[in-house]
Structures are given as structure tokens and as C-alpha cells.
Amino acid sequence: MSHYQLFATTPKAMEGILADELKSLGVEHIKATLAGIAFEGSLETAYRICLWSRIANRVLLVLKSFDVKSQDDLYHGVQSINWAEHIDAAASIAVTFSAKNSKAINNTHFGALKVKDAIVDQMRQKFNLRPSVNTDQPDLRINVYLNGEQAQLSIDLSGESLHRRGYRDLNVAAPIKENLAAAILLRAGWPEIAARQGSLIDPMCGSGTLLVEAAMLAADYAPGLLHDYYGFLGWKKHHPEIWQTLRAEAMRRKAQGLKNLPVIAGFDTDRIAVKAALTHISKAGLQQHIHVERRDIADAKPAESWPVGLVVCNPPYGERLGDAEEVALLYQQFGEILKARFKDWQAALIISDPELGFRLGIRSHKPITLFNGALECKLLLMKIETEQFFIPKAKTAEQRLTQITQTSRIEESDANAEMFANRLAKNYKKMAKWAKQQQINCYRLYDADLPEYAAAIDIYQGDQIWVNVQEYEPPKNIDPFKANQRLAGLLKEIPKVLNIAPEQVFLKIRRKQKSTDQYQKRNDQGNFEVITEDGCQFLVNFEDYLDTGIFLDHRPIRHIIQQQAKQKRFLNLFAYTGTATVHAAKGGAKLTTSVDMSHTYLDWAKRNLSLNHLQGQHEFIQSDCMEWLEIEAALPSPRQYDLIFLDPPTFSNSKRMEDVFDIQRDHVKLIQNTLALLAVGGTLYFSTNFRRFKMDRDALEDVIIEDISQSTIPEDFARNPKIHYCWKIQE
């Protein structure tokens, strides 16, 4: 399929959000410019962006760039295109023209007329017919952007601005556009909150734009599904079959996503606003999924059954209310309500006057600049903290230590920390020597060897040493101040013993996980480091997630996969960041397929593969593995793989999954469906970290099952032989 030069426009200050979105849609080699992103792609790529982009305004397909030093240059440049390849002579057109720093043409209306004349004159000369002008829904919309002496001529594939989803009544004035609402929700981390079934409340919901966009995001609902008009539909090079396939896929994803939406609710004191919100929600087909009621801000609060989540709103600006004192009092009241009724919730507010933010009385992160039309605004992101004991987050171990010290009111030194330091030094002397001999760069150094210091400590070596500390959450019967004292002592001793800076130590609190919590984002620093394992390079992240992107205890099984992958077809199920896929590709796999439900981790896997410059046939599939396997296994001729790695979570009730997954209950069905894809003579490696797991051999009596757990647990995890179980399965 042909590739084209494409350009997606977006409001100013949203370029970074659009770039992240395009990457999530599979776009590569992007180039950010003011108010847009340039990139390359096929028609399928362009169609997918038209259908799925929540941030873009328009998607332009560039036909030609040419010099314009005079009005005639513009006319002849447009005429150099054979327009009969793009439209019929009797079709309708519309022209959008904009200019910047141009000496030849600075009147946009005149420029648009010149472009229109060039097209009409060519078609009239060839066919004795001329296209008509339709500014509302033309068969083809042409866009020309003249910057200095350089013109870019494009077809507007979107037809009309993509921010107009189709659910909003254009006669109802709305304070924010749909793509700005989506940007607010993305920056506030709503997709991650929704994934763990957190609630969303907009206590000043107005006409409901934030509510609808939140539901569409949480439901995997393509924003373009409500459009019945696109600019490419009347284009002669349009491929209807590609478009219909993408729409069908989006409809399936929407139907699946709507089955498990979290609580989404909105309040507003204005009766007309509530009526408008209900109308918009109904037009989006979400009336069964969003709760809206008339309620004053003074009465805003979550129901007791609503899980902690996100409070988001676009409160009135001074420009909207007119009375500055009234607005200030509203913000002060809102801040008091948040602190009293929404403890532990996240909050996101977009405001035009930064001074109003101080009226809330809640500390926010660094404000994010966004534009509501021409009005510059600030997005405030806040965590509404409880007054009870907690360990605050910080960017460095030193900051964490300071916070922990202040919280727990400990003395400068911990008398028992010396005991921990001695054990750590002893372990390091032994393990560093072993790691060097084995050419291992990342390993577990300490794992609650002393019960008083209940933490796992891992060493990562790249261009420097990083230490990942995972504190096991202390039991409720342990005095929290005492627990904090020990943690503070532990964090102070690690840099001393290992002779590293405190900034190279990262702390995580490992609690009993719910669903796939270990995969949920904790932060948004976006800092990745590179480590090496067995000739492969991997990106790791110490700040944003509970896990770093590589499970160190799986080092031996990854080595086995690399050794056995030559000329094999390899399948990686529940692929996470694709570390096993990289090892298989490094070992010479003929092809690889990686399946995972998370686009974030599949993108991470692609980056890992790219980091190793591994060419070949590598497929990445975003899907619920159980559902994908069931569909594939039911085919008359299912896919066939010679080598399969199956490492499922213990439990999952992700919004993308129709049913709750339980490894003990579901492992037989999971393995049987996987075996349907195993080629004759092939090998399946199945692993789980569920400590109480029991393999149902009776239900799997037709296959050869060999317990290889002991040989797949590396020396640095030998103190904990139940870190995982692993089986080699063959038919």
C-alpha cells in the first residue's frame, strides 16, 4: 500500500499530547511543529487517525509542496496536479487557505479563490464541466498553507474538524471543545484510573463534554464513530473496504468496552445545563452509563459505594461570571469541599487565572498550559491527600527519606540500621562477584533477609548503577512510625554501602495487588534507562510503574528461549514489555508474535525490539489473550508456533476483559487453547508466580508436562524458591 506525507493539526500547546496519541496508534517517525504533527503513513493509518484521534482537528494528505513568489506561482502550482485523479468534474469542492510571512499573498480569501480557479479551470478545459463550491460538506476539501515562499497543498481527509464528534448540539454554547476535554482527561491520568475502575465526577459539568469524553476514553469508544461525513468519502482514491474494516473493529471494541465502565457522574446547578448534558449523553449512546443530576456545588460528593477516582471540571472563569469576588469565593468553597469529601481522590481543573488556583488551598503539580480557543489556561493536577499516615511520593530517594523522616518523627540515625548495612554489604560482596562471573548486569541483592527490614533490593547496571527498592507493606499491627523509621534507615544505608548517590535509589511500596495493579502507572516521569541481558538491551523505568519493565527472576527462561528460538515461530502471550520476544528474535526466530492487552506495554515491547536493531517478521497484537486464543483455537486452521511462552497474571478483571481471570481456575482452558496453536514437535513454556498454584495434570493428561521450576530460578532468587513455577509442555 502506498505511503503518503500526512499532517495532523491540533490546537496550540496540545502537540505533545497528539504526538503521544499518534504513537499509540502505531505512527512512527513523527515530527512535531507548531499546532500539528507531520508524519508518514498509509491510507489505513490516515483513516485510523480520523476514526480514533481524540486530539487532532484535521488530517491532511499532502499532495505537493512548491515555491510561491507570485500569485501566478500559486495558480500554476495547483494546476500541476491532475485533479481528475481526485474528483469528478461535477463534484463539489471547498478550499481552505492560510498564509504566514508571505509577500506574494496575504489575503486568505483571495488565496482561496486563486486555488479554486486553478482547479475549476483545469476541469472545465478537460471535461467542459466545472466543480461546484460547497463549503459545508464538499466531496473534496483542499487545504493550502503558505509559509513564506513555500506552499503545501493537501487534501483534508477529515472533511470537518475532528473535534466535532457528532454528539453535541451546535446550538448549545459549550465552554470547551471536545479535544480539549480529551486532553485534560489524558493529562489527568483518567485512562489509568478508569482501568482500575476508579470513578469520575464532574461537579460543574455544564453541557457534559468532559463526561462524554471520559466515558468514550474508558470504553475504548472511537470518537469518530458518530461521524457520517469525512473528507475522503468523496475522494476518488478512497478505499471503502479499508474504512469499513476499521469501523467494524471500532464497533466491536466499543461494544466490549461499554460492558464494564466505571462510575461516571456529573452535577450542575443549572437546569438548562443539565438538560443539555443529558441530550449530549443520549446522542452519544451513553445514557445507560453516565449519571447526571441537578445538584449545587455545595452538595457535591461521591456516593459511599463509588470507588476513589478523579474529580475533573472546567469551573467558571472570571470572564464567564463577570464578578471576580464571586468567582474567588466559588473556588475557595470548592477547595474546602474537595478536602472534606474527596480525600484520596485525584483532581484536575482547568482555569484561566492562576491566582484562582491558590484559592483552592490545595497544592498542585506544575501547571500545564493549554488553550481554550484563544484563551491561555492552566491545567491544575492535584492529589487530595488524607490527614492519616502515609508515605508521600517524591522524585528521588533523598526526597523520600526527608519526607519519611518528617512523617515518622525519627531521630537522625536508626540504631538497628547498622545490622541491615552489614547484611547488605555481605550480600553485595558475594553477589557482585557472582554477577561478574556470569556476565549478569541486573540481579536481586537482598530480599527481606532480615525480617525487620522487609524489602526487596535489586541492582541494575547500565551506564551507571540504579537500585530498585520494593518495600513490602508492613502488617496493620506494626506501628507505622516504627515501620517508617526502619524504611528511612534502610534508604540511608543503601547509598553508603553501594557507594552511589541517593538519586540512584528508587523506592516502591509493594502492597497486595488487585487485578493487574502492578502494571498501572504510578507516575509520569517518562525516564527510561538501558540495561543489557544475555546480549540483549532493554528499556527499564524506575519511576512510573511498580515493576521496572523486566522480571529478573525470568532470566533463565529467557535464556532458554533465546537458545531454542533459531528458525522457530515464536509466540509470546501476556507479552508485557516483550523481553522474551527480544530474546527469541536475538536467537534467530523466524517470526515472533506478541499478544498483550496493554497498548502501553506493546509500544514498550516495540521500542525494546527496535533498540536491538532486530529485523524480521514481528507482529504485535493488542488483545485479551484468553479471548484471542479462544478465537484462534476455534479456526479450522489455527496459527502454528514452534515455541510459545505463556506467563499470565494471577488474577485480572481489567475493563478490557469480559470475565474475571483467575489463573488457578482458568489455567486448563488457557493451556488447552494455547496447545491448539503449538506445532507438531513444538514446546510450550508455562510460568506463574501464584504461590498456591496447583497444576491440574488430570485435566491435561494427553500432554507431557515437565516441572522445570528449579532450573529456572536463578541463584539471586534461590532464597525464595516460590518466586515462580515453570513447566515445559509438549504434545
The predicted-structure confidence for 129-149, as pLDDT tens digits, reads as follows: 999 999 999 999 999 999 999
607: exposed, middle or buried (C-beta count within 10 Å: 0-12, 13-18, 19+)? middle
How many other CB atoms are there within 10 angstroms of residue 561's CB atom?
27
Least confident stretch, 220-234, 242-256, 403-417, 481-495: 403-417
Q: Is the pLDDT of residue 512 over 60?
A: no
Looking at per-residue pLDDT, the higher value among 702 and 47 belongs to 47
List the domains of the chain with CATH numbers: 4-156 (3.30.2130.30), 178-226+235-383 (3.40.50.150), 397-512 (3.30.750.80), 532-730 (3.40.50.150)
- Mean pLDDT, residues 420-447: 95
> Where residue 519 falls among pLDDT bands split at 50, 70, 90?
very low
Looking at per-residue pLDDT, the higher value among 43 and 1 belongs to 43
Q: Is the pLDDT of residue 492 over 50?
A: yes
Q: Is the pLDDT of residue 358 over 90?
A: no
- Determine how β-strand 368-372 pairs with β-strand 375-383: antiparallel
For the stretch 369-414, pLDDT in tens is 999 988 899 999 999 974 433 333 444 444 445 555 544 443 444 5
% pLDDT > 90, the chain: 76
> Where residue 320 falls among pLDDT bands split at 50, 70, 90?
very low
> Where residue 415 falls among pLDDT bands split at 50, 70, 90?
low
- Mean pLDDT, residues 654-682: 84
Alpha-carbon distance 10 to 59, whole Å?
Answer: 10
From 310, 317, 209, 323, select the one nearest 263 (Cα to Cα): 310
Alpha-carbon distance 56 to 226, whole Å?
Answer: 16
Q: Is the pLDDT of residue 522 over 70?
A: no
Per-chain mean pLDDT for the chain: 89
- Determine how β-strand 36-41 pairs with β-strand 617-622: unpaired
Q: Is the pLDDT of residue 450 over 80?
A: yes
| Cα within 13 Å of Cα(96), Cβ side | 21
- Mean pLDDT, residues 671-688: 96
Alpha-carbon distance 74 to 153, whole Å?
Answer: 10
Q: Is the pLDDT of residue 520 over 60?
A: no
Instruction: Using the structure block, give the residue that is written with the C-alpha cell 483518567.
Output: 190
DSSP letters of 185-208? HHHTTHHHHHHTT--EEETT-TTS
The pLDDT score that the predictor gives to residue 451 is 80
The pLDDT score that the predictor gives to residue 18 is 97
The pLDDT score that the predictor gives to residue 407 is 47
Q: Is the pLDDT of residue 170 over 90?
A: no
Contact 348, 311 (CB under 8 A): yes
